[in-house]
Homo-oligomer: A and B are copies of this chain.
Amino acid sequence: MGDHVPEQPVGSLSDAWRYCVGTGELPLALRRDYQDSLALIQREIGFRHIRGHGLLGDAVGVHRPYEWAGRRDVRHVFTYVDQVVDAYRELGIAPFVELGFMPSTLASGTQTMFWWQGNVTPPSSYTEWADLVLATVRHLVDRYGLDEVRTWPIEVWNEPNLKDFWLDADEAAYHHLYEVTATTIKEIDAGLQVGGPAISPGSDDWMARFAEFCATRDVPVDFVSRHAYSSGPAQHVPFGVHQTLAPAATLLEQFGKPREQLRGTPLAGLPVHITEFNSSYRPDNAIHDTAFHAAYLAPVIARGGEHADSYSYWTFSDMFEEAGVPAALFHGGFGLLTHRQIRKPTFHVYAFMRRLGSAILRQDDDYLVTRDDSGRITVLAWAPVDVTGPVGGIAGHRISLSLPMADASADGAAFLLRSSVSETMGNAWAAWGELGRPASPTARQLDILRETAEPVRRHARLPVVGGRVELDLVLDANEVTLVELSMVADETPQWWDERRLLGGTP
């Protein structure tokens, strides 16, 4: 007999896992492949918010100084902001606004980050910065309505604790920027939500000081944010890197840090948003493309909501240019999808999450059992992984469960649908390897990759005895699997007899 899963829920599954997803820099949102990918993501997963860099950068072109009649003035241009946010709204997703980086026309220096050259220096004029923030947020409110924009968190800058992202990682300067920005936003409406400090892992001490700064100066703050990654230093090869990974539990620890750090401060109890997370922080690490990655992150995605109010997978698509134009279809990008919409194994973890019910019946190291309002039971299970390798994993992990389908008095049958991705199932990256790693796949190869990216689905009718189904799962190497079980309402007519299909006598 398998582990006895109780009928009474032990908790409820929040929306934290789908609250937000990451995106490449915002000008990319103008692209068709990006929008096609986001449409697919929304259809099959359905995130609430989307967050990425570059809203205020030169390529979006908001800050536009000019001279007329001998005088300098600034025009705020929303041509592309509108095209991006209109597209988001059509696709049923809302911005998680990140204010940054610095327009070159407003920057105090020339230091840039990434291939696309985001300027990371403080504003040359905080007044003009405040005007820029004011104009931008007001434009959003005018175009999309105050009620709507009040639901969009607004985060000030990105990873100011890193010198690459904020000149000299100057904490006082960040606090000043935060204060100017937050008070400007509240001028528009007190109900708008603003937060920070958007720090990367490795500077945990910033959080307490941010809390203290806000409290001391009575600076508005509606949520706090940080990032979580679990990879070691980059070992470079052409067009890529390799990295060691810490066990996935590291990520859950990072998710939990802000609550812990704010305990006892005036910011205690504020929503905590993990505004970026992934294994590797590099957009060119092949690990992102693997089945290993799905099994590695499955427990994080399944259970992250116990630790934070959201955790935003970085990023939904490989349409991403921080390290330049990707040199091959699979190139180790962050995306849940490659260009051209090939689903990676980690995509399916999210697509599986969407099928879960809201009542948690049981959770363990390698599975999560839920029930929805219709009585459907789901089991999300994953193979344990070993970060010391090999990356191909090991087949054969077993999970046995006794699942409560109905009243203890009920006998009958349940329909089982099992969907799996693993080393050998739903693994387009493996198929791409077999195809010879074509950098520019042909149309037919893209079709094959799309087909091989489909989870393998198995179905059966299982007996329900005493209200219970006995389920034995044997997992493939790096498998993540979703089992869905529903009671069968049998409509088979009384005259049905399969033996007669070829005209035989009953």
Chain B residues near A504: list those with CB within 8 A: 242, 388-389
Contacts of A461-506 to chain B: CB distance below 8 A: 461, 488-496, 498-504
Within 8 A of B (CB), among A52-71: 59-61, 64, 66-68
> Which residue of B is nearest A61, CB measured?
B325
Contact A461 B434 (CB under 8 A): yes
User: Is A264 located at the chain interface by the 8 A CB criterion?
Assistant: no
- Asked whether any CB of chain B lies closer than 8 Å to the CB of A460, the reply is yes
Contact residues in B for A442 (Cβ distance below 8 Å): 143
* Closest B residue, CB atoms, query A503: B244
Chain A, 226-244, CB within 8 A of any chain B CB: 232, 235, 237-239, 242-244
Please give the distance in Å from A474's CB to the nearest CB on chain B. Answer: 17
The reply to whether A60 and B325 contact each other, CB–CB distance below 8 Å, is: yes
- Do the beta carbons of B436 and A459 come within 8 Å of each other? no
From A172-180, A205-213, A301-309, A450-458, give the one contacting chain B: A450-458
Interface residue range, chain A? 35 or more
Are the CB atoms of A33 and B431 closer together than 8 Å?
A: no
Determine which of B82, B237, B439, B448 lies in contact with A495 in the assembled complex, contact meaning CB atoms within 8 Å. Answer: B237
Evaluate contact between B327 and A502: CB separation under 8 angstroms. Answer: no
- When distances are taken between beta carbons in the complex, the residues of chain B under 8 Å from A496 are 437
B-binding segment of A11-19, A72-80, A150-158, A196-204: A72-80
Alpha-carbon gap, A339 to B239, bound state (A) = 35
A452 and B460: CB pair below 8 A?
no
Once bound together, how far apart are the Cα atoms of A290 and B339, in whole Å?
38
CA of A83 to CA of B325, assembled, Å: 12
Q: Tell me if A451 and B440 are in contact (CB < 8 A).
A: no
A124 to chain B, nearest CB (A): 20
Q: Which residues of B contact A433 (CB under 8 A)?
A: 461, 492
CB pair B390–A499 under 8 Å, yes or no, is yes
Nearest CB of chain B from residue A182's CB, rounded to whole Å: 25
Instruction: For A32, give its contact among B64, B87, B461, B501 (CB under 8 Å).
Output: B87
Contacts A67-B238, A437-B493 known; 6 new A-B pairs at CB < 8 A: A30-B32, A244-B502, A245-B503, A287-B501, A437-B496, A451-B457
Can you sample 22 A-B contacts with CB below 8 Å?
A30-B33, A61-B327, A64-B327, A78-B440, A79-B440, A83-B339, A83-B340, A143-B440, A143-B442, A238-B493, A290-B501, A292-B501, A387-B502, A389-B504, A391-B502, A415-B434, A433-B461, A436-B489, A437-B496, A452-B457, A454-B454, A456-B456
List chain A positions with a Cβ less than 8 A from chain B: 30-35, 59-61, 64, 66-68, 75, 77-80, 82-83, 86-87, 139, 143, 232, 235, 237-239, 242-245, 286-287, 290, 292, 324-329, 339-340, 387-391, 413, 415, 417, 430-431, 433-440, 442-443, 448, 451-452, 454, 456-457, 459-461, 488-496, 498-504
